A = this chain, B = another copy of it.
Amino acid sequence: MNCFPESLEKLIAELSKLPGVGPKTAQRLAFHILEQKNNGAERLASALVTAAEKLDECPVCFHIAEEGHCALCDDDSRDNSVICVVESPRDVLPIERSGSFHGRYHILGGLLSPMDGIGPTELHIRELLKRLENEEVKEVILATGSNVEGEATAAYLADLLKPLGLVVTRIAQGMPVGGDLEYIDEITLAKALAGRREF
Protein backbone atom coordinates (compact mmCIF):
# COMPACT_ATOMS: atom_id res chain seq x y z
CA MET A 1 0.00 0.00 0.00
CA ASN A 2 2.72 2.40 -1.03
CA CYS A 3 0.63 5.39 -2.03
CA PHE A 4 2.80 8.03 -0.31
CA PRO A 5 6.28 9.14 -1.43
CA GLU A 6 9.27 7.85 0.49
CA SER A 7 10.05 11.08 2.39
CA LEU A 8 6.48 11.21 3.69
CA GLU A 9 6.52 7.53 4.70
CA LYS A 10 9.77 8.16 6.54
CA LEU A 11 8.35 11.14 8.42
CA ILE A 12 5.27 9.09 9.37
CA ALA A 13 7.55 6.27 10.58
CA GLU A 14 9.54 8.68 12.76
CA LEU A 15 6.38 10.22 14.23
CA SER A 16 4.99 6.72 14.95
CA LYS A 17 7.82 6.24 17.46
CA LEU A 18 6.35 8.91 19.74
CA PRO A 19 4.49 7.63 22.82
CA GLY A 20 0.76 7.21 22.24
CA VAL A 21 1.11 7.84 18.52
CA GLY A 22 0.01 4.99 16.23
CA PRO A 23 0.34 4.91 12.44
CA LYS A 24 -2.97 6.75 11.87
CA THR A 25 -2.16 9.56 14.30
CA ALA A 26 1.35 9.79 12.85
CA GLN A 27 -0.17 10.27 9.39
CA ARG A 28 -2.50 12.96 10.72
CA LEU A 29 0.41 14.73 12.46
CA ALA A 30 2.57 14.54 9.32
CA PHE A 31 -0.14 16.06 7.13
CA HIS A 32 -0.81 18.75 9.71
CA ILE A 33 2.86 19.70 9.98
CA LEU A 34 3.36 19.78 6.22
CA GLU A 35 0.20 21.82 5.66
CA GLN A 36 1.25 24.44 8.25
CA LYS A 37 2.06 27.87 6.91
CA ASN A 38 5.35 29.72 7.68
CA ASN A 39 7.68 26.72 7.52
CA GLY A 40 6.09 24.81 10.38
CA ALA A 41 8.14 21.71 9.60
CA GLU A 42 11.43 23.61 9.60
CA ARG A 43 10.53 25.42 12.82
CA LEU A 44 9.78 22.14 14.60
CA ALA A 45 12.93 20.57 13.15
CA SER A 46 15.16 23.39 14.35
CA ALA A 47 13.54 23.36 17.81
CA LEU A 48 14.35 19.62 17.98
CA VAL A 49 17.96 20.04 16.93
CA THR A 50 18.58 23.03 19.21
CA ALA A 51 17.06 21.26 22.20
CA ALA A 52 19.02 18.06 21.54
CA GLU A 53 22.26 20.00 21.21
CA LYS A 54 21.86 22.44 24.10
CA LEU A 55 20.18 20.41 26.81
CA ASP A 56 22.23 18.70 29.45
CA GLU A 57 21.95 17.65 33.08
CA CYS A 58 22.51 20.07 35.94
CA PRO A 59 25.72 18.86 37.62
CA VAL A 60 24.19 19.45 41.08
CA CYS A 61 20.59 18.19 41.01
CA PHE A 62 20.43 16.42 37.58
CA HIS A 63 17.48 18.51 36.46
CA ILE A 64 17.51 19.54 32.79
CA ALA A 65 19.79 22.51 32.19
CA GLU A 66 21.17 24.32 29.18
CA GLU A 67 24.64 25.19 30.40
CA GLY A 68 26.01 24.69 33.88
CA HIS A 69 23.52 24.79 36.73
CA CYS A 70 19.76 24.59 36.19
CA ALA A 71 17.45 27.53 36.80
CA LEU A 72 16.33 26.08 40.13
CA CYS A 73 19.86 25.57 41.50
CA ASP A 74 20.79 29.05 40.29
CA ASP A 75 17.84 30.68 42.05
CA ASP A 76 19.23 32.29 45.22
CA SER A 77 15.78 32.90 46.68
CA ARG A 78 15.13 29.17 47.21
CA ASP A 79 15.45 27.44 50.57
CA ASN A 80 18.72 25.46 50.81
CA SER A 81 17.64 23.52 53.88
CA VAL A 82 15.11 21.25 52.13
CA ILE A 83 15.75 18.87 49.23
CA CYS A 84 12.87 17.26 47.39
CA VAL A 85 13.91 13.93 45.81
CA VAL A 86 12.02 12.99 42.62
CA GLU A 87 12.32 10.34 39.93
CA SER A 88 12.78 12.49 36.82
CA PRO A 89 12.88 16.08 35.54
CA ARG A 90 9.22 15.84 34.54
CA ASP A 91 8.23 15.56 38.21
CA VAL A 92 9.58 19.04 38.96
CA LEU A 93 6.91 20.96 37.05
CA PRO A 94 3.85 19.57 38.92
CA ILE A 95 5.55 20.27 42.27
CA GLU A 96 6.45 23.80 41.17
CA ARG A 97 2.87 24.28 39.97
CA SER A 98 1.54 23.29 43.39
CA GLY A 99 3.31 26.37 44.75
CA SER A 100 3.94 24.51 48.03
CA PHE A 101 7.66 23.88 47.77
CA HIS A 102 10.46 26.41 47.62
CA GLY A 103 13.51 24.29 48.39
CA ARG A 104 15.99 22.47 46.17
CA TYR A 105 15.47 19.35 44.07
CA HIS A 106 17.41 16.17 43.48
CA ILE A 107 16.56 14.05 40.44
CA LEU A 108 17.27 10.34 40.89
CA GLY A 109 17.15 9.58 37.17
CA GLY A 110 14.91 6.55 37.71
CA LEU A 111 13.53 4.27 40.40
CA LEU A 112 14.90 1.08 41.94
CA SER A 113 13.73 -1.82 39.82
CA PRO A 114 15.74 -5.03 40.27
CA MET A 115 13.73 -6.73 37.50
CA ASP A 116 15.07 -4.16 35.02
CA GLY A 117 18.56 -4.27 36.50
CA ILE A 118 18.26 -0.83 38.10
CA GLY A 119 19.94 -0.86 41.49
CA PRO A 120 21.08 2.01 43.77
CA THR A 121 24.26 2.61 41.74
CA GLU A 122 22.22 3.31 38.59
CA LEU A 123 20.49 6.22 40.36
CA HIS A 124 22.00 9.56 41.47
CA ILE A 125 22.04 8.45 45.10
CA ARG A 126 25.78 8.81 45.66
CA GLU A 127 25.53 12.40 44.45
CA LEU A 128 22.64 13.01 46.86
CA LEU A 129 24.73 11.74 49.78
CA LYS A 130 27.58 14.04 48.73
CA ARG A 131 25.17 17.00 48.63
CA LEU A 132 23.94 16.16 52.13
CA GLU A 133 27.56 16.16 53.33
CA ASN A 134 28.42 19.53 51.79
CA GLU A 135 25.16 21.48 52.00
CA GLU A 136 23.32 22.41 55.16
CA VAL A 137 20.21 20.35 54.60
CA LYS A 138 17.70 19.79 57.38
CA GLU A 139 14.94 17.88 55.59
CA VAL A 140 14.76 15.50 52.65
CA ILE A 141 11.29 15.02 51.15
CA LEU A 142 10.91 11.72 49.30
CA ALA A 143 8.53 12.57 46.44
CA THR A 144 8.71 9.46 44.26
CA GLY A 145 5.43 8.08 42.90
CA SER A 146 2.97 5.89 44.79
CA ASN A 147 3.66 2.79 42.68
CA VAL A 148 5.70 -0.26 43.71
CA GLU A 149 9.03 1.10 42.46
CA GLY A 150 8.34 4.56 43.90
CA GLU A 151 7.55 3.11 47.33
CA ALA A 152 10.55 0.78 47.27
CA THR A 153 12.89 3.60 46.31
CA ALA A 154 11.48 5.87 49.03
CA ALA A 155 11.86 3.11 51.63
CA TYR A 156 15.45 2.42 50.52
CA LEU A 157 16.34 6.12 50.71
CA ALA A 158 14.64 6.54 54.10
CA ASP A 159 16.76 3.70 55.54
CA LEU A 160 19.86 5.27 54.04
CA LEU A 161 19.21 8.87 55.10
CA LYS A 162 17.68 8.56 58.58
CA PRO A 163 20.99 7.58 60.25
CA LEU A 164 22.45 10.87 58.98
CA GLY A 165 20.34 12.74 61.52
CA LEU A 166 18.08 14.42 58.94
CA VAL A 167 14.32 14.79 58.94
CA VAL A 168 13.22 12.40 56.18
CA THR A 169 9.61 12.81 55.05
CA ARG A 170 7.39 11.13 52.47
CA ILE A 171 4.62 12.93 50.55
CA ALA A 172 1.16 11.95 51.83
CA GLN A 173 -1.09 9.34 50.29
CA GLY A 174 -4.87 9.69 50.47
CA MET A 175 -7.95 10.92 48.69
CA PRO A 176 -7.27 13.11 45.64
CA VAL A 177 -8.94 16.51 46.03
CA GLY A 178 -12.41 16.36 44.46
CA GLY A 179 -12.47 12.56 44.78
CA ASP A 180 -15.67 10.73 45.66
CA LEU A 181 -15.45 8.06 48.36
CA GLU A 182 -17.71 5.89 46.25
CA TYR A 183 -15.25 5.71 43.38
CA ILE A 184 -11.94 5.57 45.21
CA ASP A 185 -10.03 2.26 45.29
CA GLU A 186 -9.80 0.47 48.63
CA ILE A 187 -6.01 0.69 48.93
CA THR A 188 -6.06 4.47 48.58
CA LEU A 189 -8.89 4.63 51.10
CA ALA A 190 -6.90 2.46 53.53
CA LYS A 191 -3.95 4.85 53.15
CA ALA A 192 -6.25 7.85 53.62
CA LEU A 193 -7.61 6.35 56.85
CA ALA A 194 -4.19 5.38 58.14
CA GLY A 195 -2.90 8.88 57.42
CA ARG A 196 -5.88 10.69 59.05
CA ARG A 197 -5.14 13.88 60.96
CA GLU A 198 -6.95 15.62 63.79
CA PHE A 199 -9.34 18.32 62.61
Please report A residues at the B interface, Cβ cutoff 8 Å: 1-8, 10-11, 13-15, 17-20, 25, 27-34, 36, 39-52, 54-55, 63-66, 70-72, 88-90, 92-93, 96-97
Given contacts A5-B66, A8-B55, A93-B1, contact A41 B32 (CB under 8 A): no
Question: Which of B28, B39, B49, B66 is A52 in contact with, Cβ under 8 Å?
Answer: B39
| 8 further contact pairs, Cβ within 8 A, besides A1-B96, A6-B66 | A2-B71, A3-B93, A4-B64, A4-B93, A5-B64, A27-B90, A34-B55, A39-B52
Which residues on the B side are within 8 Å of A50 (C-beta)? 7, 10-11
- Closest-by-CB residue of B relative to A36 is B17
CB distance from A184 to the nearest CB of B (A): 23
Copies in the complex: 2
* A5/B42 in contact, CB under 8 A: no
Which residues on the B side are within 8 Å of A92 (C-beta)? 3
CB distance from A150 to the nearest CB of B (A): 18
* A47/B14 in contact, CB under 8 A: yes
